[in-house]
Amino acid sequence: MTQSKWQPQPCNLCGEPCGCNHKHASALGLVNHTEMGSYCSTPGNGCGALDDGATYTFSLCEFCLDWLFSRFKIPPEVDRGDPESNVFRPAEQRVNEDDWRQLGRERFFSEFHKRNKARAT
């Protein structure tokens, strides 16, 4: 029996894979997430926007999640175990500000710009 190679799920926002291209590739982001409209969700009949009882399955890569998070009026809660570092900072800011992240900076920004471009088209 042959072992199948992991195939990344495409991100519904940018279209790029929800993963990374290296030998330890795995799903990264919100992959195959399912959300369901509730009883009051039917557009025009309730107070929500999703159809009553309909399920919606989608994937968002980490870059698109970070992009969405940075646009939230109320930032997401972050728990890193240290109250001082529990403030949300977008990935771009963390890579620019944190010295220890400099080693992977070039690779990060290459992927960051590629996904920003893909999201814009």
In this predicted structure, which of 3-7, 15-19, 23-27, 62-66 has the lowest mean pLDDT?
3-7
Cα–Cα distance, 36 to 56 (Å, whole number): 6
Whether 95 maps to a domain, the answer reads yes
> What pLDDT, on a 0 to 100 scale, did the predictor assign at position 91?
94
Contacts of 37 (CB under 8 A, 6+ apart): 48, 50, 51, 52, 53, 54, 56
Band of the pLDDT at 8, cuts 50, 70, 90? confident
Domain, as residue range, for 43: 30-120
- Residue 36: strand, helix, or coil: strand
Q: How many domains does the chain have?
A: 1
Whether 106 maps to a domain, the answer reads yes
User: Structure pTM?
Assistant: 0.82
Whether 13 maps to a domain, the answer reads no
Cα–Cα distance, 82 to 103 (Å, whole number): 24
Above 70 in pLDDT, residue 82? yes
Number of Cβ within a 10 Å radius of residue 46: 15
Above 80 in pLDDT, residue 84? no
